[in-house]
Amino acid sequence: MTGTRLAWFRRDLRIHDNPMLAEAAKGGAVAALFVFDARLLRGARASANRNAFLLASLSKLAATLAERGVPLHVTTGDPAAIVPHVAAEAGAESVHVSRDYSPFARARDAAVSEALAGNGITLTSHPGTLISEPGDVTKRDGGPYSVFTPFYRRWQATNRRKPVDLLAQLDGLAIPGYETALPDPGQPGFQPTAEALPTAGETAARGRLDRWLDGGIAHYEDERNFLAAGGTSRLSADLHFGLLSPLEVAARSEATTAASAGFLAQLAWRDFYHHVLWHFSHVVSEPFNRKYAALEWRDAPGDLDAWKAGETGYPIVDAAMRELLATGYMHNRARMITASFLTKHLLIDWREGEAHFLRHLVDGDIANNNGGWQWAASTGTDAAPYFRVFNPVRQGQRFDADGDYVRTWLPALANVPARAMHSPWEMTPDEQQAARCIIGRDYPAPMVDHAEARQRALAHYGDTRPGR
């Protein structure tokens, strides 16, 4: 039997298939810790929606661990100071974490590791956040992939670790002075701006997964792009906070139905963007394709505000932006349309859109959000070619043909007939009257003309195209 080990939870708030917890439990006793990092709580990338979901999920984790005899210690501050202190108080020989991939997380872990080493304590990181680790999915020459399709082929052929068994009763250690002290959910930074968040915690997430595997997954390929269909899993926040093990989600969906191939590919995109972030960390602030660093974006705060508020005059864009504000979620197809609109129609810097999404999304995730934005802006790995400018009218007609999605989020258009839903400005004055939707009064006219905006984007991107 070895000595006490400290399990430091971060984005792995579960007891099922948690290699970090399993390893920590191999010692004589296990102490459990979560640190609210003040920089994450209040920093530029902070989100009250995410903080609220995290806090509620932590409280569920604390209860689950307590049932197994392990008190969860929760505190706020700088991990580089707190983790070594708690480890020393616990008399821990080692600290265990699930691997994290952003430059911020890597710098944090390096600082903690260095501080621990001063006391002769090791920091050991474990898989559990992704299905495959960076370094496991590489090209023949050992280099990283920057195009998804060959990555995906290799990813599918890569051996996976075995899920770890569920731990029953553990030998938990209480550290005096660090009893569970969850922050008060009423304090600033924790009050969600969304009207309702998903039910927090591992048990609720497992319920969502069970229901998805019993039903929705079978129709995923047919329905995933239709905005009002509810045809996707809605597991993104659960995966972001590690309420679910992505390895378990993949294994169970493979076992469920042959129709899960498309769903697995999305889980592979999640791995892909985390690998990209790991290998090409400059993407957090710069275009992946550095040639696009020369692209000059418009400084147009009024246009940016109209986009954020869902007042562009394009119903599919506006409905999506309202969905984000109201729920902290946006459908993937809508994320692509709104991101394309901001970067191509308005020529506003993708980093503005990325930051707005991160502020509101409950699933807001540096790797996936950055990957999605750089894809839409055509600056990223495997990006949409720059001449691909989504037509918001056609996208709406194709993926919200009945107008149900728009009607849900834009009550001003509730009585507009489906055929005019995605270009209401084309209604005659009589039709506008009949629909009680006068353009310019009840709903804005389009802020840019699609054909003109497209030409402007092509000229702009063409001028700064790589190789020119």
Ligand X SMILES: Cc1cc2nc3c(=O)[nH]c(=O)nc-3n(C[C@H](O)[C@H](O)[C@H](O)COP(=O)(O)OP(=O)(O)OC[C@H]3O[C@@H](n4cnc5c(N)ncnc54)[C@H](O)[C@@H]3O)c2cc1C
Taking the complex as a whole, the smallest distance from the CB of residue 381 to ligand X amounts, in Å, to: 11
In the bound state with ligand X, the residue whose beta carbon lies nearer, of 131 and 413, is: 131
Taking the complex as a whole, the smallest distance from the CB of residue 354 to ligand X amounts, in Å, to: 8
In the bound state with ligand X, the residue whose beta carbon lies nearer, of 190 and 373, is: 373
In the bound state with ligand X, the residue whose beta carbon lies nearer, of 146 and 236, is: 236
Side-chain-side CA neighbours of residue 98 (13 Å): 27
Taking the complex as a whole, the smallest distance from the CB of residue 433 to ligand X amounts, in Å, to: 37
Taking the complex as a whole, the smallest distance from the CB of residue 265 to ligand X amounts, in Å, to: 9
Cα-based distances in Å from 116 to 74, 81, 104, 169:
19, 9, 18, 28
In the bound state with ligand X, the residue whose beta carbon lies nearer, of 137 and 361, is: 361
Nearest to residue 307, comparing CAs of 341, 347, 331, 355? 341
In contact, 452 and 422? CB cutoff 8 Å:
no
User: Which residue lies nearest ligand X, judged by its C-beta?
Assistant: 372
In the bound state with ligand X, the residue whose beta carbon lies nearer, of 116 and 267, is: 267
Taking the complex as a whole, the smallest distance from the CB of residue 466 to ligand X amounts, in Å, to: 21
Return the structure tokens found at 270: 């999640």
In the bound state with ligand X, the residue whose beta carbon lies nearer, of 224 and 456, is: 224
In the bound state with ligand X, the residue whose beta carbon lies nearer, of 261 and 414, is: 261
In the bound state with ligand X, the residue whose beta carbon lies nearer, of 49 and 369, is: 369
DSSP secondary structure letters along 422-463: T-GGGS-HHHHHHTT--BTTTBPPPSS-HHHHHHHHHHHHHH
Taking the complex as a whole, the smallest distance from the CB of residue 297 to ligand X amounts, in Å, to: 16
For ligand X, the binding residues (CB under 6 A) are 224, 232-236, 239-240, 266-267, 269-270, 273, 332, 335-336, 339, 357, 361, 363-365, 368-369, 371-373, 376
Bridge-based pairing of strands 72-77 and 30-37 is: parallel
Specify the amino acid at residue 443. Y
Question: What is the spatial distance between Cα 200 and Cα 51, in angstroms, rounded to a whole number?
Answer: 11
In the bound state with ligand X, the residue whose beta carbon lies nearer, of 24 and 336, is: 336
Taking the complex as a whole, the smallest distance from the CB of residue 368 to ligand X amounts, in Å, to: 3
DSSP 172: B
Taking the complex as a whole, the smallest distance from the CB of residue 347 to ligand X amounts, in Å, to: 16
Q: Check residue 77 and give left, alpha or beta (phi > 0: left; psi -120 to 50: alpha).
A: left
Nearest to residue 110, comparing CAs of 82, 134, 79? 79
In contact, 367 and 280? CB cutoff 8 Å:
no
Question: What is the spatial distance between Cα 249 and Cα 99, in angstroms, rounded to a whole number?
Answer: 18
Taking the complex as a whole, the smallest distance from the CB of residue 330 to ligand X amounts, in Å, to: 7
**Cα dihedral 252→254→259→262 (10° resolution):** 100
